[in-house]
Amino acid sequence: MGRGRQKAKHTKVARDLKYFSPDTNYGALERELGGNPRLEEDLEKWPEYADTYGDDEEDVDDDVKTA
């Protein structure tokens, strides 16, 4: 008896979630994803927190000793 009612509730909730589209604040999203405009200044103050390896894999391979 309860399975049909439970399945109907889950179907309704799933349908509501599927078609729900909240208003997106694109200005806030752009500010969040834009990064830190003071990054260079901060890296000059605290160089120990700078990424010394960067994205190049060549730098990482130089540190590995091969047998």
- 28-45 pLDDT tens trace: 888 888 877 777 777 788
Question: What is the domain range of residue 15?
Answer: 7-52
Across the range 6-33, mean pLDDT stands at 89
Task: Please check whether residue 57 lies inside any domain of the structure.
Answer: no
Q: Give the CA distances from residue 8 to residues 19, 35, 45, in Å, rounded to whole numbers and listed in that order.
A: 17, 45, 59
Residues listed for the chain: 67
Q: What is the pTM of this model?
A: 0.33
Half-sphere exposure in the Cβ direction for 61 (13 Å, CA)? 4
Task: Note whether 50 and 43 are within 8 A (CB).
Answer: yes
Number of domains in the chain: 1
Q: What are φ and ψ of residue 27, in 5° steps?
A: -65, -45
- Per-residue confidence band for 64, with pLDDT thresholds at 50, 70 and 90: low
Task: Please check whether residue 61 lies inside any domain of the structure.
Answer: no
Task: Please check whether residue 32 lies inside any domain of the structure.
Answer: yes
Half-sphere exposure in the Cβ direction for 1 (13 Å, CA)? 0
